[in-house]
Amino acid sequence: MGLHSLTASLLGLVVVASSAVVDPKILDACPGYELDNVETHGSMLLADLKLRGKACNLFGPDIEKLQLNVTYETTSRLHIKVTDSSSARYEVPDSVLPRPAGDGHILPQQSEIQFKYTSSPFSFSIHRASNSDVLFSTGSHPLIFEPQYLRIKTDLPANANLYGLGEHTDNFRLPTHNYTRTLWSRDAYGVPNGTNLYGNHPVYFEHRTTGTHGVFLVNSNGMDVKIDDATPGRTTLEYNVIGGVLDFYFLAGSEDDPTVLARQYAQIVGTPAEVPYWSLGLHQCRFGYQNYIDVAGVITNYSLANIPLETMWTDIDYMYKRRIFTLDPDYFPLSRMQEIIEYLHAHDQRYVLMTDPAVAYLPDQGYGPYDRGTAMDIWLKAANGSFSLGAVWPGVTVFPDWFNPDTQGYWSNEFAMFYDSQTGLDIDGAWIDMNEPSSFCSYPCTDPFEQAVQQDLPPARTSSPPNPTAPIFANSPKSSMSLHKRVNHQGENLEFPPYEINNAAGSLSNKTSDADAVHANGLVEYDVHNLYGTMMSTATHNAMLARRPGLRTLVITRSTFAGAGRRVGKWLGDNFSDWEHYRNSISGILNMASIFHVPMIGADICGYAEDTTETLCARWAMLGAFYPFMRNHNADTSISQEFYRWPTVAQAAINALNIRYRLMDYFYTTFHTASTDGTPVLNPLWYNYPQDPDTFAIDLQFFFGPSILVSPVTEENATSVSLYLPKDTFYDFNTLAPIQGTGSIVDLDNVNLTSIPVHIRSGVVLPLRASGAMTTTQLRKTDFEIVVAPNKDGEASGSLYMDDSVSISQNATTEVSMAYSKNTLDVHGSFDYPTGVKISRVRFLDVSKAPRGVQLDGRVLDKNAITYNAWGKVLDVALEIPFRGNFSVRIG
């Protein structure tokens, strides 16, 4: 949530700085380095790199001697690191991104990828051992290593299929013509295409029909990654980094299964956090609920509209003068807010509040969060040792320094006091925003006090407070950090480095913390700026754990770095209510969930800024039902857009939520698998069909989990959709009728404004819940039906995971495997966690004719339990058996 509600004239945006433009011929004419003193020790190669000619000194003096370290860490992971031999340089701290240890016994000849080099001039390449594919090659592009500029460039195949390098709103498959991907966190209102946004994930996957591999640069400094096809017959990818070291992981991936690569990347950045079951329900929020009556009214209206609402959210409106850890006593009095939370909890619903990082600078004014933080000396410091100040919603602010070892204790204490279950607000999850960190102060922010006055911060309320005794619910229930080597930046320009990245906000410090701000361990924002959001996320996750020990947390953040998904989820920021943002939200969730391992991801449904329309909101409600994180949220300057506002949108939401709730345990199982081994929660089509080139660029369709194909309408006023069906069998989710894909476009007509095309990929057994529940708590009490969707060989498989849905450590789980072959469904597993429900029926798809009979565990079922639909080729077998043990069903 940026400074969107103030007038554009006060935004103070600057012209986008152009990245340094240097003729590639000049760069390629630099002397590079030569390899010397090569030593090999089992899985490791060590060597010196010495400048081999007259220095280029393009953006500073070339460093004359470097250290090269190559380590075969596993059979699929190669670690290559280039550092300055004579001076300590900044590296991403292990406290922020813990690294896995290598095996220590992998010999080069055992590896799936091989490191090869040329000594003078030094260059290297990475080859796939099985087929000699060159995956990365610096070739004729010399390495450049200067104090504030690192450059390394590789040649790739023409029209390379590249994915990742986020956060961005561009196509999922990255452009390869004159394209620059900039990484530097900023408050990116409107999330414009082609610019740097909130988060930073310097990893890319490259897919070829011969295999899929990955490259991860562990560097949090600002950078431009340039991709171009100017040279005929090849694509080049060039890193231009303004600090740190070159710290690369090369991942072999797989020749036939792209999800193998995703699992390998998870071994570095961590597998995603388990999510509470309830977090997969519908969330509702907006910036602009004027008072507690507004909030209560929304809860009531969702119920009256029969739309399942799981979690109510409130933006910064609840705060007193926009100050975190406060309540406005006139508009959001504590007793009435507690009443709302009690009502929600009594109805098996939840509540989430916003918490920003910026703390109002209010010395000697009795503002506890500021006073306690000042006493602990945990604020980020300016270069001169004073507090680093910004201008944010509450006015002039300070920022917590997440590297300070006392900041976690401060943050946890503030959460414990304000969100106390008895005396405060008993929230169920946390929402953290503005954590790039965002500031409304334009560079140079020499007078944040004047900036706050000019921008009317904090904004005055425009409505009168409500009657504090106004009834809201008819029957409201009553309640019975680590050290790091100091890096010497003396003489370096941290605000305007010699190479200027293509930061859309202009200078590095514009609208954020100053690049020369200093952390408690001596690190400067110039190096760690891109880590701020993830470090706040970790601190908030820990604070929520301290509030509710043993329970999984739901923390939704805006700014992320590699590894953030180990603890938190994310939303895609301040999008617009238009079809472009509707469409590019799909590539956004695919990037986060299928590559970056932040699977609890969603976009603001119906759009955040500007006014939505009934048609757009209806379509978005249905698309949003297949975001892992499903939340309707919009701005205070936009019209209200809760789903019940329009009959069409309400019906669209009900229909889509019905599908989502039926699939909820499939979703939950998919999340559990991701947390176990890194298997993606969402999949682009090419993950499932890696040999089909027609799938490589598709980013308007996607799979939730391995088997649910979602193909939303993506054009305004359209009632048809053209979807691509690979050469495979699919089943319509609603009718269960089979459709044979031929590797071509299929036109579906009569897709009305309350429906979305969803298909089941063949070869899967799906556990579905019965419909009709209004909360996930009710849903878990409904029976299962099992859908068997066989492939061309007449086989299918699936799984189901169940637990208590909220605990980090489980005393009992139910883990079930379901396999169909030779006309027999076999369901077996461990049933230690009681499901408490029945299997109501099994639905066998693509059955060519009615069977002579059906057996349950060898016992012939009564014919009244069997129904056959010849048109849809669906065989229904009623079971009504307790779901607490193994069973088999045979047809024939």
pTM of the model: 0.96
Strand partners, 34: 50
CATH number of domain containing 771:
2.60.40.1180
pLDDT at 25: 82
217 found inside a domain: yes
For 585-644, the pLDDT digits (tens) are: 999 999 999 999 999 999 999 999 999 999 999 999 999 999 999 999 999 999 999 999
Quick check: 4 pLDDT over 60?
no
- Residue scoring higher pLDDT (28 or 45): 45
811 found inside a domain: yes
76 found inside a domain: yes
714 found inside a domain: yes
2 pLDDT band (50/70/90 cuts)? low
Query: Which residue in this structure is represented by tokens 């999008």?
Result: 575
Residues labelled as active-site residues: 433, 436, 574
Cis amide bond preceding 444, omega within 30: yes
SS3 labels along 16-74: CCCCCCCCHHHHHCCCCEEEEEEEEECCEEEEEEEECCCCCCCCCCCCCEEEEEEEEEE
For 210-234, the pLDDT digits (tens) are: 999 999 999 999 999 999 999 899 9
711 found inside a domain: yes
885 found inside a domain: yes
Sign, CA dihedral 442-443-445-450, equals negative
Domain boundary among 219, 252, 269: 269
When pLDDT is averaged across residues 645-660 and rounded to a whole number, the result is 98
When pLDDT is averaged across residues 412-418 and rounded to a whole number, the result is 98
22 pLDDT band (50/70/90 cuts)? confident
Q: Which residues contact 239 (CB under 8 A, 6 or more apart)?
A: 150, 151, 152, 153, 217, 223, 224, 225, 246
pLDDT at 9: 28
Q: In angstroms, rounded to a whole number, what is the distance separating the alpha carbons of residues 591 and 62?
A: 36
Quick check: 440 pLDDT over 70?
yes
Quick check: 7 pLDDT over 50?
no
Instruction: Decide if 779 contacts 769 (C-beta within 8 A).
Output: yes
User: Could you tell me the residue range of the domain that residue 213 belongs to?
Assistant: 24-269
Domain boundary among 219, 247, 269: 269
Question: How many domains are there within the chain?
Answer: 2
pLDDT at 479: 34
Instruction: Decide if 591 contacts 168 (C-beta within 8 A).
Output: yes
772 found inside a domain: yes
CATH number of domain containing 235:
2.60.40.1760
Instruction: Decide if 284 contacts 695 (C-beta within 8 A).
Output: no
For 156-202, the pLDDT digits (tens) are: 999 999 999 999 999 999 999 999 999 999 999 999 999 999 999 99
Quick check: 269 pLDDT over 90?
yes
Per the prediction, the chain carries an average pLDDT of 95
196 found inside a domain: yes
Domain boundary among 247, 269, 291: 269
DSSP code at position 657: H
6 pLDDT band (50/70/90 cuts)? very low
For 281-329, the pLDDT digits (tens) are: 999 999 999 999 999 999 999 999 999 999 999 999 999 999 999 999 9
Quick check: 483 pLDDT over 60?
no
Quick check: 8 pLDDT over 60?
no
Q: Which residues contact 362 (CB under 8 A, 6 or more apart)?
A: 323, 370
872 pLDDT band (50/70/90 cuts)? very high
Q: Count CB atoms within 10 A of the CB of residue 486.
A: 11
